[in-house]
Structure 1
Amino acid sequence: MSLNDEERARTAAELRANLELTGLDADRAGAELGFDGGRLAQVLAVAGADPADVWLLRDHLEDLVRAAGREPVPYTVLTEEARAAAERWFPLRRAPRRA
């Protein structure tokens, strides 16, 4: 499963929009997943990133947005239907839950 340029750009915009809704800075959200700055930049740009990392960040941001009492920006490429296909290609990891 790979994304074309338009899908990568759209997904990157959706990730950044949800990051903004969390109220956290990118470094903190990334650190919660064990991502250093370079890895986080790749994942946020959806460029050269491990697809499993992109899904992990997607899920973590969605959880953080909801924990902040907001509604996440919907994902147009990383949908639940796409999750089933992704799981056939590579193992997905669960995002940590905030207490």
Structure 2
Amino acid sequence: MSLNEEQRARTSQELLLNFQLAGTSLDAVRAQLDFTAQRLDDTLNVREQSRPEDVWLLRDHLENLVRAQGHTAVPYTVLTRTARLAAAIWFPLRRPPE
């Protein structure tokens, strides 16, 4: 399961919007997910070299952070619940930190 260029761009925009709503810093998210700066940048921008399981982890983590701020997350148009079921077959999805 891989995303095409348009899906990667849309997913990246949705991740960035939720990052803004989360009210946190890149350094905080990087530390919480134990990512390097490059790995977080690749994941947030959904580059071809980003790991699909990292994109799902970041998606879920940002959604949790947005909810913790009392906001509603921007919905994901590609990383949907149905897509998660398919992704779980292909990738070892992880739970975000609490």
User: What residue number does 1:58 align with?
Assistant: 59
Q: Deviations over 1:9-59 (max 9, x none)?
A: 000000000000011111211210001110000000111111000000000
Matched, 1:13 2:13: yes
Aligned length: 97
What fraction of aligned residue pairs are identical, expressed as a percent?
Answer: 58
Distance 2:79 2:70 in 1: 22
Q: In the TM superposition, what are the counterparts of 1:1-99 in structure 2 within 5 Å?
A: 1-47=1-47, 48-97=49-98
* Normalised TM-score (structure 2): 0.97
Return 5+ residue gaps in structure 1 as ranges.
none
Measured on the aligned residues, the alpha-carbon RMSD in Å equals 0.6
Distance 2:65 2:30 in 1: 12
- The list of structure 1 runs, each at least 4 consecutive aligned residues, that deviate by more than 4 angstroms after superposition, is none
